[in-house]
C-alpha cells in the first residue's frame, strides 16, 4: 500500500466540517482548527510517515497508533478496504492526529494520561459533529464534556469534572495494558524533516 494513499485517507478525515468543533484548552495549550490545518500541511510536505502494521496494532489492541520518535502514524489495512471511512476509523485517525499535533508543537506540559484523555475527547467531538452521534456513551463523561465545549468553545478542560472522570477511566484502561505508560517522560520532539 502506498504512503500516498494513506496520506490521502488522513487528509480526508482532517477535511471534515466537524474539525472546527474541536476547540478547547488543556494545561495552557489551545487545541483548535488551525492546529489541524497545520498538521494537514505537514502531512502534505511528507513530514509525517504512514505505514500499515496490523500485527503491531493487534498486539497493542489499538485501531491506529502514532510514534512520536519516528513521526509516523500506523494504520490498519482494513481502513483501505471499503469506499467509506467508518465511524470507528475516523475516530481512531483523528485521535492519532492530535498525538501528532502535540508532537509537532513540542508540547511538554501534558502528562501521558492527560494526552490520551484529550485524544479520546477529540474523537468524541469529531464523531458527534461528523455523524450526529457520539463515539462514546451518549450520556457518558466524554459526551457531557463534548456538549459543554459546544456551549463554551475554547473552554479550559484541565480541571473540569467530566475531564477528570474521563482521565480516571483512561488511566485505569492504560494502566492495565502497561503499568509504566503513565510514568513515561514526554516524548514530544517536534517533526523532523523526512528525507
Ligand atoms: Zn492515543
Measure 61 CA to ligand 1 centroid, in angstroms.
11
Handedness of CA 189, 116, 27, 15 (dihedral sign): positive
Q: What is the DSSP letter of 16?
A: S
Cα 153 to middle of ligand 1, angstroms: 23
Ligand 1 mean position, distance from CA 45 (Å): 23
Q: How far apart (Å, rounded) are the C-alpha atoms in residues 191 and 106?
A: 9
For residue 65, how far is its CA from the centre of ligand 1 (angstroms)?
7
Q: Report d(CA 181, CA 112) in Å as an integer.
A: 7
* In-domain check, residue 189: no
Q: Which domain holds residue 150?
A: 3-183
Q: How far apart are CA 172 and CA 169, in angstroms?
A: 5
Ligand 1 centre and the CA of 99: distance in Å? 7
Is residue 193 in some structural domain?
no
* Distance of alpha carbon 113 from alpha carbon 111, whole angstroms: 6
Q: What total number of domains does the chain contain? A: 1
User: From CA 129, how far away is CA 150, in angstroms rounded?
Assistant: 10
Taking the centre of ligand 1 as the mean of its atom positions, its distance from the CA of residue 93, in whole angstroms, is 10
Structure confidence at residue 195 (pLDDT): 37
Asked, for residue 195, whether it belongs to a domain, the answer is no
Q: Which three cell numbers stand for residue 11?
A: 487528509
What is the chain's length?
195
Q: How far apart are CA 40 and CA 136, in angstroms?
A: 26
Cβ-based neighbour number of residue 171 at 10 Å: 18
Ligand 1 centre distance from Cα of residue 100 (Å):
10
**Alpha-carbon span 177 to 112, nearest angstrom:** 14
3-state SS, residue 67: strand
d(CA 138, CA 19): 20
Ordered mean pLDDT values, 10 residues apiece, the chain (195 residues): 90 98 98 98 95 95 93 94 90 98 93 96 98 96 98 98 97 88 77 59
Give the separation between CA 19 and CA 34, rounded to whole angstroms: 9
**How many whole angstroms from 133 Cα to the centroid of ligand 1?**
21
Place of cell 503499568: 179
Task: Give residue 132 CA to ligand 1 midpoint distance, Å.
Answer: 23
Residue pointed to by grid coordinates 492530535 = 98
Residue 192 forms part of a structural domain: no
- Asked, for residue 70, whether it belongs to a domain, the answer is yes
- Grid coordinates standing for 39? 498538521
CA of 174 to the centre of ligand 1 (A): 10
pLDDT the model gives residue 1: 63
Bridge-based pairing of strands 24-26 and 29-31 is antiparallel
Would residue 136 count as lying in a domain?
A: yes
Q: How far is the CA of 96 from the centre of ligand 1 (A)?
A: 6
Q: Quick check: is 191 in a domain?
A: no
pLDDT confidence of residue 194: 46
Amino acid at each position: 500500500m502506498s504512503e500516498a494513499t494513506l496520506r490521502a485517507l488522513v487528509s480526508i478525515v482532517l477535511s471534515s466540517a466537524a474539525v472546527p468543533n474541536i476547540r478547547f484548552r488543556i494545561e495552557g495549550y489551545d487545541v483548535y482548527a488551525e492546529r489541524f490545518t497545520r498538521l494537514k500541511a505537514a502531512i502534505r510536505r511528507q513530514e509525517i510517515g504512514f505505514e500499515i502494521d496490523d500485527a503491531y496494532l493487534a498486539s497493542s489492541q489499538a485501531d491506529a497508533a502514532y510514534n512520536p520518535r519516528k513521526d509516523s502514524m500506523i494504520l490498519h489495512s482494513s481502513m483501505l478496504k471499503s469506499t467509506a471511512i467508518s465511524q470507528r476509523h475516523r475516530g481512531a485517525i483523528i485521535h492519532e492526529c492530535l498525538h501528532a499535533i502535540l508532537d509537532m508543537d513540542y508540547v511538554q506540559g501534558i502528562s501521558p494520561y492527560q494526552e490520551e484523555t484529550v485524544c479520546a475527547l477529540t474523537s468524541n467531538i469529531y464523531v458527534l459533529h461528523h455523524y450526529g452521534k457520539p463515539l462514546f456513551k451518549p450520556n457518558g463523561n466524554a459526551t457531557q464534556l463534548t456538549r459543554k465545549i459546544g456551549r463554551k468553545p475554547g473552554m479550559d478542560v484541565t480541571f473540569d469534572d467530566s475531564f477528570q472522570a474521563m482521565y480516571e477511566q483512561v488511566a485505569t484502561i492504560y494502566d492495565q495494558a502497561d503499568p509504566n505508560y503513565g510514568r513515561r517522560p514526554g516524548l514530544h520532539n517536534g517533526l523532523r524533516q523526512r528525507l
